[in-house]
């Protein structure tokens, strides 16, 4: 691979799509502005822009080359200003392969290379190479970095295993879709899209549609609403199946390798030495059913890795299967602590108060000005009180040697396991009311995505417990 290579010609298409996406808002705005008298001028300008976009995409592809030389990935690019980027193998944290629909048609893949200093984007991205070349490039770049990997507890404990693998079944995947709670996200996106599309609908057509809906009657509108929510729920299920279809996780001595996706196939590499914490998430819907999601907080990398701020290690499994999963893929985190030291009972009132104060004020306001609608804020108030009670009930921690397990809840219940050396900062806080109640707030910080901090906060712990944790963190207890 020491000879300079160009990307596959399909990269021209991806460059063109990227450019059009960047100018799409300006194109739409221009169409709205000139759609009446000056539509011909707009079409001529648009045709000229398309020619410029195509020419720029071809030149960008032609001037982009890459090669591996002297234990470095060397990339040269730029049409008018020539730029060179050298990435040492030792700096590479992960190499991911992604194949979208167009990639899979041409048997191509996109190679994304991330280092500890990657920002919102990957350190280097080869938008279109042949699948065999992408896999060969990944093996070439990993060959040196793996030699120096494994300076912590993972290397010794995983060396004896022979690449264990686990795949999600379709039944579980369908269940993950039905309980994902993505309907709320889809409804928000649909509402946003409708608010933007509304301005393009002719006013006469819009008013006649509103009058037609009003004339249908309450029952028919209710039925249409239920059907619409059902469709959104089905879209959420389909989205989960498309995203996590063919999900497979494979482990080896130094890393976890995850493959997933039906339309867009992603191959994600997670180095074990970059894992800062492992979490188990139980949503309000899944918890009564006994299902959880296992995820990891990974240091470095880019925000466009595809999992927001955390990496999903397994989308859904039974709660009693977690221990075997950890023993197989992350034995250092095995020995899950189910019985944690709970929060003090006198802290319950603070959790309920924080959760319900806004709804309590809303209930008072509605009761004064709109008493006939008092039932609505009362329902929300009852729900918020229950949520505050759950947050207090589920909170807790336990120290086990070098490992700390904490559990907290916002809406979903999260159990986080962190090793002592992964904690970057430990902070204690106590306001005057807490001091009277002998309570304190604890905050832990670890390295997260983009090298930024990820924080875990537990409020209203027993004062003696936070002192104990502070001693554990500072080694004073030893």
433-461 pLDDT, tens digit per residue, is: 999 999 999 999 998 765 567 899 999 99
pLDDT of residue 308: 47
The b-or-e profile of 73-88 (16+ CB within 10 A means b, else e) is bbbebeeeeeeeeebe
Q: How many domains does the chain have?
A: 4
Whether residues 338 and 349 share a domain: the answer is no
CA-CA distance, 241 to 295, in Å (whole number)?
A: 18
pLDDT tops 80 at residue 268: yes
Asked whether residue 318 falls in the same domain as residue 441, the answer is: yes
Name the pLDDT band for 296 (thresholds 50, 70, 90).
very high
The CA distance from 449 to 304, in Å, is: 10
Instruction: Tell me which residue of 336, 318, 329 sits closest to 168, measured CA to CA.
Output: 318
The more confidently predicted of residues 100 and 143 is 100
> Do 417 and 324 lie in a common domain?
yes
Same domain for 118 and 43, yes or no, is yes
> What's the pLDDT score for residue 161?
45
Mean pLDDT, rounded, for 266-272: 89
For 310, phi then psi, to 5°, come to: -130, 160
Q: Which of 65-74, 184-193, 257-266 is least confident?
A: 184-193
For residues 318-346, give the mean pLDDT: 92
pLDDT tens for 181-226 read: 655 555 555 555 555 555 555 555 556 665 666 666 667 767 777 8
126 and 240 together in one domain: no
pTM, two decimal places: 0.79
Six token digits for residue 421:
């050396």
Residue 50 covered by a domain: yes
For residues 202 and 140, membership in a common domain is answered with no
Query: Which pLDDT belongs to residue 217?
Result: 64
Residues 432 and 445 in one domain: yes
How many angstroms separate the CA atoms of 441 and 101, rounded? 49
User: Averaged over 147-168, what is the pLDDT?
Assistant: 59
Mean predicted lDDT score pLDDT of the chain: 84
For residues 122-147, give the mean pLDDT.
82
Q: pLDDT grade, residue 115 (50/70/90)?
A: confident
Name the residue range of residue 129's domain.
5-148
Per-residue pLDDT tens over the stretch 385-408: 999 999 999 999 999 999 999 999
Q: Is residue 164 part of a domain?
A: no
Buried b or exposed e, range 406-441, using 16+ CB within 10 angstroms: bbbbeebbbbbbbbeebbeebeeeeeeebeebebbb
């Amino acid at each position: 691979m020491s000879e300079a290579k160009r990307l596959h010609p399909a990269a021209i298409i991806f460059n063109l799509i990227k450019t059009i996406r960047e100018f799409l808002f300006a194109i739409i705005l221009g169409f709205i502005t000139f759609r009446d008298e000056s539509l011909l001028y707009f079409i001529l300008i648009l045709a000229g822009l398309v020619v410029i976009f195509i020419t720029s995409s071809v030149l960008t592809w032609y001037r982009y080359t890459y090669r591996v030389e002297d234990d470095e990935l060397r990339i040269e690019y730029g049409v008018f200003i020539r730029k060179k980027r050298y990435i040492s193998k030792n700096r590479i944290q992960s190499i991911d392969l992604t194949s979208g629909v167009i990639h899979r048609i041409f048997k191509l893949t996109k190679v994304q290379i991330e280092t500890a200093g990657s920002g919102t984007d990957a350190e280097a991205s080869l938008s279109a190479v042949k699948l065999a070349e992408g896999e060969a490039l990944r093996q070439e770049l990993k060959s040196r970095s793996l030699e120096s990997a494994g300076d912590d507890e993972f290397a010794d404990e995983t060396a004896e295993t022979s690449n264990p693998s686990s795949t999600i079944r379709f039944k579980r995947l369908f269940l993950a879709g039905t309980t994902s709670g993505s309907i709320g996200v889809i409804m928000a996106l649909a509402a946003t899209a409708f608010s933007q599309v509304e301005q393009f609908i002719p006013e006469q057509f819009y008013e006649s549609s509103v009058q037609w809906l009003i004339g249908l009657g309450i029952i028919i509108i209710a039925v249409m609403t239920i059907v619409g929510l059902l469709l959104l729920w089905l879209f959420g299920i389909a989205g989960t199946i498309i995203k996590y279809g063919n999900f497979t996780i494979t482990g080896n001595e130094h890393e976890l390798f995850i493959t997933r996706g039906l339309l867009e196939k992603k191959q994600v590499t997670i180095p074990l030495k970059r894992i800062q914490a492992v979490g188990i998430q139980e949503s309000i819907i899944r918890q009564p059913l006994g299902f959880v999601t296992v995820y990891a907080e990974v240091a470095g990398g880019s925000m466009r890795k595809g999992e927001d701020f955390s990496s999903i290690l397994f989308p859904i499994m039974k709660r009693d299967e977690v221990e075997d999963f950890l023993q197989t893929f992350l034995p250092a985190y095995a020995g899950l602590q189910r019985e944690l030291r709970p929060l003090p009972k006198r802290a319950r009132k603070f959790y309920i108060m924080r959760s319900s104060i806004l709804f309590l004020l809303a209930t008072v306001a509605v009761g004064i000005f709109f008493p006939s609608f008092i039932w609505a804020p009362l329902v929300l108030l009852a729900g918020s009180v229950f949520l505050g009670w759950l947050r207090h009930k589920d909170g807790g921690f336990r120290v086990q040697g070098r490992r700390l397990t904490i559990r907290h809840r916002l809406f979903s219940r999260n159990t986080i396991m962190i090793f002592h050396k992964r904690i970057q900062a430990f902070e204690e806080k106590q306001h005057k009311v807490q001091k009277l109640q002998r309570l304190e707030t604890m905050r832990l910080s670890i390295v997260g995505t983009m090298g930024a901090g990820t924080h875990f906060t537990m409020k209203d712990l027993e004062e003696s417990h936070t002192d104990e944790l502070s001693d554990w963190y500072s080694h004073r207890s030893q």
